[in-house]
Amino acid sequence: MDFSPNGSVLLTGWGPGSKKKVALYDVSNGNNIGNVTVGDAVESVDYSEDGTSYAFGGLDNDLIIYNGTVYGTNIATFTEPTSDVYSVDYSYDSMW
């Protein structure tokens, strides 16, 4: 899990089983404010330092980047990993 840079959104990864998703929660009230359904369990999530995007990866061997809005759009999907993605982390300048 990871918090947005301003602390208002909690980003979580779920799985295995039927809860194969990335979920976003409003920290002020605990309400679910968005979901991204994925192919398999999510192992790692990370918000960019500037809050403009978030990345996640897991047991489906993909690294996925969404823009930072709650109902974001997929910016990029990297399918090159040849095994499970256990950790994602942005650089401090949010460039990588």
**pTM: predicted TM-score of the whole model, two decimal places:** 0.86
Mean pLDDT across the stretch 58-81?
85
pLDDT above 70 as % of the chain: 92
Q: What is the pLDDT of residues 13-60, one digit of tens each?
A: 988 777 789 999 999 999 999 899 888 999 999 999 988 899 999 998
> What is the full DSSP assignment across 12-54?
EE--STT--EEEEEETTT--EEEEEE-SS-EEEEEE-TTSSEE
Maximum alpha-carbon separation in the chain: 39
Average pLDDT, the chain: 89
Q: From 36, 27, 33, 39, select the one nearest 2 (Cα to Cα).
A: 27
Is pLDDT of 64 > 90? yes
pLDDT above 90 as % of the chain: 58
